[in-house]
Amino acid sequence: MTRDEITARLLTIFAEQFEIENPDMDDDLREVYEFDSIDAIELLREIEVMLQTQLTREEKKMAMEISTINDIVDYIMARAADPGRQGATA
């Protein structure tokens, strides 16, 4: 999956699941859009679906520190680039 494909998919998720239209890629999600921990959990589930895998507790903990959409894209790109983790379960 390319960076543009991941970005497009995330923007669709933000629009459909969180009613956040056309967010700035570098806005702090918590500060600008009041993105809370429940939203983060829902987003993690969407990321698992996107990657067709289940994130480990440590990966979820790390992901909770992410604050911008660009950070999320970087996280997914790094996670998807690790062939040893593709399709792995926790």
Entry pTM: 0.82
What is the DSSP-derived secondary structure letter of residue 3? H
- For residues 19 and 62, what is the distance between their CA atoms, to the nearest angstrom? 25
Confidence tier at 88 by pLDDT (50, 70, 90): very low
Tens-digit pLDDT profile for residues 6-50: 999 999 999 999 999 999 999 999 999 999 989 999 999 999 998
Task: Tell me the domains of the chain and their CATH numbers.
Answer: 3-80 (1.10.1200.10)
Helices (H), 1-90: 3-18, 29-33, 37-51, 57-63, 69-80
pLDDT at 64 over 50: yes
pLDDT for position 90: 41
